């Protein structure tokens, strides 16, 4: 049985690669029916009768809010309750002004700010709490459409990105918008007939996909998350890869773990493969020194850019 959260997650993937000027709830629903092998024509009506309404209605949560709360669906009222419980439990209200919330790491990941007041927080939550019907999600996406000038510059999922070496090998290009990556990936999956016939959500990885995702099978939701490791931001002015120091360190550790480079007898010690030897010019190093070793490369980049 396919859950609403499964449907909505796939629905958003479809909408990201669709022309929102011509897309309708019917055309999107038919696409979902094709992907999951279901008849969804009466689902919205039936679900509307079963669920509540307004702020008590069950909603789909963004990946960031799912990570924070540990659930994929929740009523808005319950989200607010849990959020305030967390704030009070961790003593995050500013003692000088209780309306202001100091964001710890978890809240910073969610709201992308160091502090937020309760009114801003309520507005910010709207970006993370989504409806659970095809019609509502389509309406929401259309309401978020940017004007023509912004479209020309590109933004969000249509913005040109830098691709990892593995994804470059798969797509054959060094740069591509996320929407185009997803399109090409799904075209490849369908062309090679890699969807599990028993469960269309599961993808059976052939040699090319295995090289990209390093697993024998993956579902469409895991695949979306896995792609994030291969799609990087570009500096808009000069096309250079742009990452914060923290993101570089994070990606370095992902590489170390993915390639099993930690010394089994002492996990703090990293054994360099050829790429790391070329980068750091050492055979091994202490994990705590990753940031320090990278410093020289940040300096070189800044110097090369010039004034």
Q: pLDDT 10s per residue in the chain (307 long)?
A: 566 666 666 776 776 666 655 666 677 777 777 776 666 665 544 454 444 445 557 787 777 888 888 887 888 889 999 999 999 999 999 999 888 999 998 899 888 888 999 888 888 888 888 776 655 555 555 554 443 334 444 445 557 888 888 888 888 888 888 888 888 898 899 899 999 998 888 899 999 999 899 899 998 778 888 888 888 876 544 444 556 677 778 888 888 888 889 988 888 899 998 888 878 888 898 887 887 787 766 543 333 344 3
Cβ atoms of residues 167 and 212 within 8 Å: yes
Question: Quick check: helix, strand or coil at residue 234?
Answer: strand
Q: What pLDDT, on a 0 to 100 scale, did the predictor assign at position 172?
A: 84
Q: What pLDDT, on a 0 to 100 scale, did the predictor assign at position 236?
A: 46
Phi, psi for 250 (deg, rounded to 5): -60, -45
Strand partners, 73: 60
Cα separation values, 296 from 45, 262, 291, 292, Å: 60, 22, 10, 8
d(CA 168, CA 175) in angstroms, rounded, equals 8
Q: What pLDDT, on a 0 to 100 scale, did the predictor assign at position 271?
A: 92
d(CA 236, CA 242) in angstroms, rounded, equals 9
d(CA 108, CA 218) in angstroms, rounded, equals 29
* Of 231, 232, 188, 180, the residue nearest 209 (C-alpha): 188
Geometric angle at alpha carbon 162, from 158 and 167, rounded to 5°: 100
CATH number given to 156-232: 1.10.245.10
Domains of the chain, residue spans: 4-130, 156-232, 245-305
d(CA 2, CA 200) in angstroms, rounded, equals 10
Regarding pTM above 0.75, the answer is no
Residue 269: half-sphere exposure toward Cβ, Cα within 13 Å: 8
User: What token pair was written down for 61?
Assistant: 């949560």
- Pure H helices in 17-163: 25-36, 43-50, 63-69, 76-89, 105-111, 118-125, 134-143, 148-153
Cα separation values, 77 from 56, 104, 116, 117, Å: 6, 22, 19, 18
Q: Domain 245-305, what architecture?
A: Orthogonal Bundle (1.10)
pLDDT tens per residue, range 221-237: 788 888 888 888 765 44
The answer to whether the 156-232 and 245-305 domains have the same CATH topology is: yes
Q: What pLDDT, on a 0 to 100 scale, did the predictor assign at position 259?
A: 82
CATH topology of domain 4-130: MDM2 (1.10.245)
Q: What pLDDT, on a 0 to 100 scale, did the predictor assign at position 116?
A: 92
Residue whose tokens read 């040109």: 160
* Of 175, 169, 172, the residue nearest 238 (C-alpha): 175
* Strand stretches in the chain, DSSP E: 58-61, 73-75, 93-94, 97-102, 115-117, 129-130, 160-163, 175-177, 195-196, 199-204, 217-219, 231-232, 262-263, 266-271, 284-286
Cα separation values, 227 from 4, 146, 185, Å: 23, 24, 10
Q: What pLDDT, on a 0 to 100 scale, did the predictor assign at position 10?
A: 73
> Mutual orientation of helices 118-125 and 76-89 as an angle, nearest 10°?
140
């Amino acid at each position: 049985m396919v859950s609403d959260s499964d449907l909505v997650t796939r629905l958003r993937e479809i909408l990201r690669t669709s022309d929102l000027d011509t897309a309708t709830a019917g055309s999107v629903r038919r696409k979902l029916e094709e992907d999951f092998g279901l008849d969804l024509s009466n689902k919205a009506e039936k679900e509307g009768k079963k669920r509540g309404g307004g702020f008590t209605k069950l909603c789909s949560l963004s990946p960031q809010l799912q990570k924070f709360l540990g659930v994929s669906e929740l009523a808005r009222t319950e989200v607010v309750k849990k959020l305030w419980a967390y704030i009070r439990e961790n003593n995050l209200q500013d003692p000088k002004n209780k309306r202001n919330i100091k964001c710890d790491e978890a809240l910073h990941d969610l709201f992308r700010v160091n502090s937020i007041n309760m009114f801003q927080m309520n507005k910010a939550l709207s970006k993370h709490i989504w409806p659970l019907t095809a019609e509502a999600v389509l309406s929401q996406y259309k309401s978020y459409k940017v004007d023509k000038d912004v479209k020309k510059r590109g933004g969000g999922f249509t913005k040109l990105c830098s691709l990892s070496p593995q994804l470059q090998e798969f797509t054959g290009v060094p740069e591509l918008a996320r929407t185009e990556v997803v399109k090409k990936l799904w075209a490849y999956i369908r062309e090679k007939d890699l969807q599990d016939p028993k469960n269309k959500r599961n993808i059976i990885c052939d040699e090319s996909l295995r090289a990209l995702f390093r697993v024998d099978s993956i579902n469409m939701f895991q695949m979306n998350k896995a792609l994030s490791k291969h799609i990087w931001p570009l500096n808009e002015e000069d096309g250079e890869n742009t990452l914060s120091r923290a993101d570089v360190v994070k990606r370095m550790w992902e590489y170390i773990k993915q390639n099993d480079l930690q010394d089994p007898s002492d996990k703090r010690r990293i054994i360099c493969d050829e790429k790391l030897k070329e980068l750091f010019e050492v055979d091994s190093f202490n994990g705590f020194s990753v940031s320090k070793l990278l410093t020289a490369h940040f300096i070189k980049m800044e110097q090369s850019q010039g004034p």
